Amino acid sequence: MNRVLVLLGLTLSVGALLLGLSACERKAVDTSAMRNVVLISIDSLRADHCGCYGYDKPTTPALDAFAAEAVRFANTYAISPWTLPSHASMFTGLYPDTHLANRPRSKLHENNVTLAELLGKSDYFSHGIVCAPFLRSYFQLNQGFNTYDDRISRTHRPEVRQIKTSRDVTDRALEFLAEQQRQRRPFFLFVHYWDPHYDYNPPERYANMFDPDYTGDIDGLRISHRDDIVPGFNPRDLQHIVALYDGEIRYTDDHLAELLAELNKPPFAQNTAVIITADHGEEFLEHGSTGHTFTCFEELIRVPLLVRAPWMETEAKVIDTLVEIVDLFPTILTLAGQPAAEHDIHGYDLLPLIERGQAPPREVFFCETQQGRRYGWEGMRGDWFSLRDLAGMKVHYFRRGRINATDLFNLAADPYEKTNLRKSQKELSEQMALQLRRLHRDHSRQARQMDIRTERTKKRKKRKTREEKDLEEQLKGLGYVN
Ligand SMILES: [Zn+2]
């Protein structure tokens, strides 16, 4: 009798549970067919300072664990060594001399077509979480996003160089993901981490992590305003500055770990593509300077790129083929199951390479900074263009007015660009520089065809808005404008 009652009770309980479950299921949203995309950009992260790219210090355990399950591109080029043009290229699939968000006071012109805009046509909800002054909505990189959270870059001033933001970024990203579980439409989430960007002042535990024996008094502050870190600088002190940069990377990675842990859980593990990259690298006197922005040497443009999507037909692997950040635009469209852009772009869809080993038909790799500064020509800023070919010959072309200079390196024999071949291989040097100038002309022509214009903020406008004053203060603080 008792047993019957117990059985009856069990049956009723299980029935109630099942009824409850089915009620929940009716409320829950079936997200299994969605193809969400999360794009994570870690500012100033050099590829060769990540464990999964061969670095010998434990700077990136979370990134390395992710890489073990992802497609890792071993050779990825940013197309500019600073924040604004590089992100604008991720979002438009165009080189900076076509999208024209390539000067410190240039906004992204509205005739550009952005990734978020195209995804929006298919009901994607696009959200951005950003920290850098150059990613504030003022520069219009929010074009096409449904919501764009640039509060972090607005609220912390003028100490923008020194603030720690990774905690805040991760919390906001987790909050967004929690909300998405109740939504019926797919999302595109752009997350921008900032802390490896100078200054290098990680919290104490991280400051001591990579150089515990240091007894000197050099710190990682005011990097863009100091004139003491020049060639001849004490190598032991420089080693310490690099250790502080590594501490910032590890600090960021520890927060990234929490975001990746959430993305590894259902439903995101099944319905979300995750792409991790950086906008540019960082230099530590390899070519006479510190920070970034001024040149297109390898240390400034080699960035990590990791791609994982549960619906990609591939195993985790490493791809050696050279690719560019500009390829993210068409690749993300394909990952989201969207048609290719109808206008001409410079990026190539990487899915054929990932799934079938078909390399993009690209023979030269382009980079530019309109903030160029050739070492030895102190204070002289000009246009810096670089081009490398598949064999590894790389030309740098600097110009300001009528003054110009060409440098040539052979990356196959000289990966750190130390031996300038401009005199010994004068003909090749001039030939590649000519090719570079033609390419730049083609890109500029395309901008005119698309009616993309340089949209500058007013440098000497008498009445600046409060936001413009605030932004000017931030950019001066970072050394981007005088
Ligand atoms: Zn940046």
Residue 374 alpha carbon to ligand 1 centre in Å: 20
Residue 425 lies in a domain: no
Residue 94 alpha carbon to ligand 1 centre in Å: 17
- Classified as helix, coil or strand, 257 is helix
Residue 395 lies in a domain: no
Which is nearest to 249 in space by CA: 79, 68, 55? 55
Report pLDDT for 232: 93
Report pLDDT for 219: 93
Report pLDDT for 270: 94
Report pLDDT for 5: 43
Instruction: Give Cα separations from 436 to 148, 160, 262, 425 (angstroms).
Output: 36, 36, 44, 16
Residue 12 lies in a domain: no
Residue 248 alpha carbon to ligand 1 centre in Å: 14
Residues with CB under 5 A from ligand 1 (ion): 43, 83, 279
Report pLDDT for 26: 44
Report pLDDT for 22: 44
Residue 405 alpha carbon to ligand 1 centre in Å: 26
302-303 and 76-77 strand pairing: antiparallel
Residue 278 alpha carbon to ligand 1 centre in Å: 8
Residue 106 lies in a domain: yes
The alpha carbon of residue 375 and the mean position of all alpha carbons in its chain are separated, in whole angstroms, by 26
Q: How many CB atoms lie within 10 A of CB 409?
A: 26
Residue 84 alpha carbon to ligand 1 centre in Å: 7
- pLDDT tens digits for the chain (482 residues)? 344 444 444 444 444 444 444 444 445 567 777 899 999 999 999 999 999 999 999 999 999 999 999 999 999 999 999 999 999 999 999 999 999 999 988 999 999 999 999 999 999 999 999 998 899 999 999 999 999 999 888 765 556 667 789 999 999 999 999 999 989 899 999 999 999 999 999 999 999 999 999 999 999 998 888 889 999 999 999 999 999 999 999 999 999 999 999 999 999 999 999 999 999 999 999 999 999 999 999 999 999 999 999 999 999 999 999 999 999 999 999 999 999 999 999 999 999 999 999 999 999 999 999 989 887 666 678 999 999 999 999 999 999 888 899 999 999 999 999 999 999 999 999 999 999 999 999 999 999 999 998 877 655 566 778 888 888 888 887 877 77
pLDDT tens digits, residue range 282-322?
999 999 999 999 999 999 999 999 999 999 999 999 999 99
Handedness of CA 143, 324, 282, 441 (dihedral sign): negative
Residue 16 alpha carbon to ligand 1 centre in Å: 55
Question: For residue 464, with 0-12 CB atoms within 10 Å meaning exposed, 13-18 middle and 19 or more buried, which class applies?
Answer: middle
Q: How far apart are CA 110 and CA 351, in angstroms?
A: 28
Q: How far apart are CA 281 and CA 304, in angstroms?
A: 9
The CATH code of the domain that includes 60 is 3.40.720.10
Q: Which two tokens stand for residue 364?
A: 């030269």
Report pLDDT for 156: 57
Q: How far apart are CA 193 and CA 249, in angstroms?
A: 10
Residue 433 lies in a domain: no
Q: How far apart are CA 318 and CA 30, in angstroms?
A: 33
Residue 10 lies in a domain: no
Overall number of domains in the chain: 1
Maximum alpha-carbon separation in the chain: 102
Q: Which two tokens stand for residue 240?
A: 């310490």
Residue 288 lies in a domain: yes
For residue 460, the enclosing domain spans: 33-363+453-477
Residue 45 alpha carbon to ligand 1 centre in Å: 9
Report pLDDT for 376: 65
Q: How many CB atoms lie within 10 A of CB 355?
A: 12
Report pLDDT for 470: 80
Give this prediction's pTM: 0.91
Residue 192 alpha carbon to ligand 1 centre in Å: 10
Residue 235 lies in a domain: yes
Residue 160 alpha carbon to ligand 1 centre in Å: 13
